[in-house]
Amino acid sequence: MDSIKQQLVQARQAKKAMGMLTLSQKKQLLQAISALLIAHQDAIIEENKKDLDRMDPQDPKYDRLKLTEERIQALAASVIDVANLEDPTNKVLLRKTLENGLQIEKRSVPLGVVGVIYESRPNVTVDVVALCIQSGNVCLLRGGSDAWFTNSYLVSLIRQAIEAAGINPDIVQLLPTARELMGELLTAKDYVDILIPRGSQALIDYVRDHAKVPVIETGAGVCHTYVDETADLDKAARIVANAKISRPSVCNALDTVLVDQQVAGPLLTKLAPYFAEHQVEVYADPQAFQWLQGVGYPHLQHASADDFGREFLDLK
């Protein structure tokens, strides 16, 4: 494909169909999507395996890419959660009467056509679709090439549910991942109302710097935990270890630990065995480096200033 023009046109045309859906219709549609995800778990996992087979299992993105029965069931449940939310549109945000008797109202309305650009996390595909449908928005999905097989199958199921409900399926479309087509999406101001990049800081920066379409800029997932001198240090060590070790490749995994100097030594002593068990590579400031070295921690690096604002997405 050398252009996404047709998909852009179709998305713009689908705004009318999206705008005509009642809250009840949107809820029924989301329930149908949830049911299809559960019914086709095996096929989803099979398509997901095609993507996983193309990636090194040691790649930090591997875990984010992987779907299991448990994760698919959680996705299906999250769609139902969204279906049970209030309709965010047509709410009166402001109402006033001017001195001349003119009544003015400010109401919430859908954004329109929402383009979401993201990386190798197929769960985002389902999350975005559910939120866009509930909020009355058409969505254009531009996922990463790493998840192409998974995303393609997920979107085919979603469009199947939309068509079965008698709705224009172009309210949800998956765009090709070819890099040369990215510019067309970023500059499609006649067709796309807003762009939302979700992913690394490099992706966010690229979209912001090159887009002519308005962009909602999300922050990169650099997550901090602060341990105060009044903390229960045994509990704090378990919390920090869980935040780093349980799923290090996701964007809400722990990246930086800030510790009150009064308890830094005792906390790091308690934390070191948890990290050592999973071979977490620690980038430490001079004082923390000295403490960890003193307890024989083997996976230790001197931290640079940039490390304190770095998203690791790994056991680092």
Among the three residues 154, 179, 210, which one is the final residue of a domain in this structure?
Answer: 210
Same domain, 204 and 271: no
**283 backbone dihedrals φ, ψ, rounded to 5°:** -100, 110
Among the three residues 153, 186, 210, which one is the final residue of a domain in this structure?
Answer: 210
Does 314 fall in a domain? no
Does 42 fall in a domain? yes
Same domain, 230 and 271: yes
Same domain, 162 and 17: yes
CB contact set of 7 (below 8 Å; sequence gap of 6+): 140, 170, 173, 175
Does 118 fall in a domain? yes
Same domain, 197 and 296: no
- Indicate if the pLDDT at residue 308 is higher than 70: yes
Same domain, 66 and 176: yes
Same domain, 106 and 43: yes
| Bridge partner residues of 196 (DSSP) | 116
Same domain, 200 and 231: no
- Indicate if the pLDDT at residue 183 is higher than 90: yes
Among the three residues 159, 186, 210, which one is the final residue of a domain in this structure?
Answer: 210
Does 216 fall in a domain? no
Question: Domain containing 255 — which CATH number?
Answer: 3.40.309.10
Does 2 fall in a domain? no
How does the average pLDDT of the chain come out, rounded? 94
Same domain, 199 and 266: no
Same domain, 42 and 141: yes
What's the domain range around 298? 223-309
Same domain, 173 and 247: no
- Indicate if the pLDDT at residue 68 is higher than 80: yes
pTM check: above 0.75: yes
**97 backbone dihedrals φ, ψ, rounded to 5°:** -115, 125
158 touches 76 (CB < 8 A): no
pLDDT at residue 220 in the model: 67
Q: What is the pLDDT of residues 4-32, one digit of tens each?
A: 999 999 999 999 999 999 999 999 999 99
Q: What is the pLDDT of residues 102-114, one digit of tens each?
A: 999 999 999 999 9
